[in-house]
Structure 1
Amino acid sequence: MIKYYNRKTKDYEVEKVAGEKYLNWTYSSPVGMKLLEGIIKKKLFSSIYGWYLDRSLSKSKVKGFIKQFGLDMSQAEKDEANFTSFNDFFFRKLKPVARPIDISEKAVVSLGDGRLFAYENIDLNKLVQVKGFTYSLKELIKDNKTASKYSGGVCLILRLCPTDYHRFHFIDSGICGETEKIKGAYYSVNPVALQKVEKLFCENKREWSVFKSDNFGDILYVEVGATCVGSIIQTYTPNKKVTKGEEKGYFKFGGSTVILFFEPDKIKIDEEILKQTNLGYETYVLMGEKIGDKA
């Protein structure tokens, strides 16, 4: 059972996990772990499943998924009947009014929908994956020079569940550089998996880029793939000016994670979110929602 904090209700809620029984069995049983290491974490497994979800045959899964997880489809640009495949539904766009953005230049907003951990004054060699498991930023992006800029800064980890809106956005106006791609495995990023696989973020396929924001310094974006995420799609144009809230990219099917790193003394995260992180709980946030302020 995974609990997270809801800022609106000021209470804890239990996450509805897609494929929960399968996930628990895979990461908890000897047979499941053997299948994980031998087949499931491999690119071929995710690519084949992703190929199926791109086909019209997979449309039959959409209605049941919406009903099972109680998704509000009135927020989507397309009607349920107009999706061409399950992936078309999965990375659906939302109506602009569904995700209002705090446009204040001093407001730090969430890059997407998901469950958020926030850490201040970070040690680059001991970034927190889950309690007891750490990793280093140098291992994560394989670029020592870039990594060194963020010592003592802020780290935000936004975990996107399969039930979440799966597009991610720029949190400020500015210019983003080229995307660097790192090949890797396809472990799940669910807390069940994070408690079983050491340095999971450094094992999985990932992409990173530096966003030179107008108000919050140079922000390091790291997108991490996961089981059945056949692709991380970058939709932005490198080295072109973007506005706050503009789309950066999206994930195809599967739970995924975006990690942001800020230089020291650039932002201050809301105390409520920091408190829940210290207690071990993620905070549920929506794209465009204010989560902090300019320092």
Structure 2
Amino acid sequence: MDTIDYIERSTNKIKKEYVVAKGALRWLYYTPGGKITLHMLLKRKLASTIVGHFMNSPLSYNQVNKFIKKHKVDLSLYHDEGGYKTFNEFFHRRIKKEKRPIGEALVSPADGKLLAFQNLSHLPTFFIKGSEFALHEFLSDEHLAEKYKDGSMVIVRLAPTDYHRYHFPVSGLATESKSLKGRYFSVSPVAMKKSIKILSQNRRVFNLIKSKEYGDVLMAEIGATLVGSIVQTYKPNSVVKKGDEKGYFAYGGSTIVLIFEKDKITIDADLLKNTKRHLETEVKMGETIGR
């Protein structure tokens, strides 16, 4: 899988995303030697911690310009353009507000590629057989799992080249985050193609946003291989506005999952249609994704 097909929403055309470190990911997830390495080292916190320390140190400075040139990052979208002292300063750079206007109704929490399911019962038909997503395993809470049974789900995948701060998709009272320990598997489609269970096995942090319009929206941030940390910047148990910053990921691609109670939202039809075609849709933070 050298490239990933996705839908560019503004044109409704199929585009190709080039997988960062595709060769290494294929080796890790599809060869005997790679699988041993993955289970012995990379999925453990040690590797991510070591990489995280490096990306926070001045030694990582030389990687910034290389990354910008290789992936053609438009620095004019961000604050402190060109003034980054470490790779992580660049990686979780702040975007200029005017570059991400906040839309009507329910909006995307991040820049990334999106999959949408109006009903969680549709998940088994999308992912590989034998790789079912179990809500009680993902939340590690039987009561919450029952609350969101037959609800809706949105998965936003952030590639390493994306803007890595995430924001609230709705307004409401944001509860304190709960952290669940886990491994550090990659969330790249190269890995996800093997098993959706990765979402329930990786380290994840989630909280509720108690919204008048959309009920209790569950928002989860998921760590992955070489993600140094998941940092929450919002004040727990406070009222937040749609589009307010919630936190950021340090180095590495990662994923955000939104889960809604049954019949509380209607996801935009184009997102559902693309998902049924097994295609992600490119979205930007603040873009309307449902009502």
Q: TM-score range by the shorter chain?
A: over 0.9
Matched pairs, number: 288
Superposition pairs for residues 123-162 of structure 1, below 5 Å?
123=121, 130-132=127-129, 133-162=131-160
Q: 1:203 and 2:205 equivalent?
A: no
- Comparing 144-153 with 85-94, greater Cα deviation is found at 144-153
Shift of 1:66: 0.8
Deviation readout 1:42-81 (Å, 9 max, x if unpaired): 100110011000001101001111111111110011121x
Letter of the aligned partner of 1:68 in structure 2? K
Give the aligned partner of residue 163 of structure 1: 161
Shift of 1:172: 1.6
Residues in 1 aligned to 2:273 and 2:64: alpha-carbon distance in whole angstroms = 37
8 Å CA contact 1:117, 1:156 repeated in 2 = yes
Letter of the aligned partner of 1:98 in structure 2? K
Give the aligned partner of residue 6 of structure 1: 8
Deviation readout 1:210-245 (Å, 9 max, x if unpaired): 110232110011111000112100111111111110
Shift of 1:129: 7.5
Distance 1:160 1:129, change over 3 A: farther
8 Å CA contact 2:234, 2:245 repeated in 1 = yes
Shift of 1:271: 0.8
8 Å CA contact 1:129, 1:199 repeated in 2 = no
SS at 1:268 equivalent: coil
Shift of 1:127: 6.0
Q: 1:31 and 2:33 equivalent?
A: yes
SS at 1:100 equivalent: coil
| TM-score, structure 2 normalization | 0.95
Shift of 1:267: 1.0
Superposition pairs for residues 112-261 of structure 1, below 5 Å?
112-123=110-121, 130-132=127-129, 133-197=131-195, 199-261=197-259
SS at 2:235 equivalent: coil
Distance 1:283 1:121, change over 3 A: same
Residues in 1 aligned to 2:145 and 2:236: alpha-carbon distance in whole angstroms = 20
Q: 1:41 and 2:38 equivalent?
A: no
8 Å CA contact 2:170, 2:243 repeated in 1 = yes
8 Å CA contact 1:127, 1:137 repeated in 2 = no
SS at 1:66 equivalent: helix
Distance 1:195 1:40, change over 3 A: same
Distance 1:47 1:113, change over 3 A: same
Residues in 2 aligned to 1:101 and 1:198: alpha-carbon distance in whole angstroms = 30
Shift of 1:197: 4.0
8 Å CA contact 1:160, 1:166 repeated in 2 = yes
Letter of the aligned partner of 1:46 in structure 2? S
Residues in 1 aligned to 2:110 and 2:185: alpha-carbon distance in whole angstroms = 21
Give the aligned partner of residue 86 of structure 1: 87
- Over the aligned positions, Cα root-mean-square deviation in angstroms equals 1.5
Residues in 2 aligned to 1:232 and 1:128: alpha-carbon distance in whole angstroms = 31
Distance 1:64 1:128, change over 3 A: farther
Letter of the aligned partner of 1:58 in structure 2? S
8 Å CA contact 1:128, 1:135 repeated in 2 = no
Give the aligned partner of residue 17 of structure 1: 19
Shift of 1:265: 1.5
8 Å CA contact 2:222, 2:254 repeated in 1 = yes
Deviation readout 1:245-264 (Å, 9 max, x if unpaired): 00111100111001000111
Deviation readout 1:111-137 (Å, 9 max, x if unpaired): 11000000012239x667733321211
Residues in 1 aligned to 2:164 and 2:125: alpha-carbon distance in whole angstroms = 23
Give the aligned partner of residue 58 of structure 1: 60
8 Å CA contact 1:167, 1:247 repeated in 2 = yes
Match of 1:69 among 65, 68, 71: 71
Q: Would you identify which runs of 4 or more consecutive aligned residues in structure 1 move more than 6 Å?
A: none
- Comparing 152-161 with 130-139, greater Cα deviation is found at 130-139
Residues in 2 aligned to 1:128 and 1:260: alpha-carbon distance in whole angstroms = 19
8 Å CA contact 1:232, 1:252 repeated in 2 = yes
The unaligned stretches of length 5 or more in structure 1 are: none
Shift of 1:198: 5.6
Q: Percent identity?
A: 43
- Comparing 129-138 with 7-16, greater Cα deviation is found at 129-138
Shift of 1:23: 1.4
8 Å CA contact 1:233, 1:251 repeated in 2 = yes
The unaligned stretches of length 5 or more in structure 2 are: none
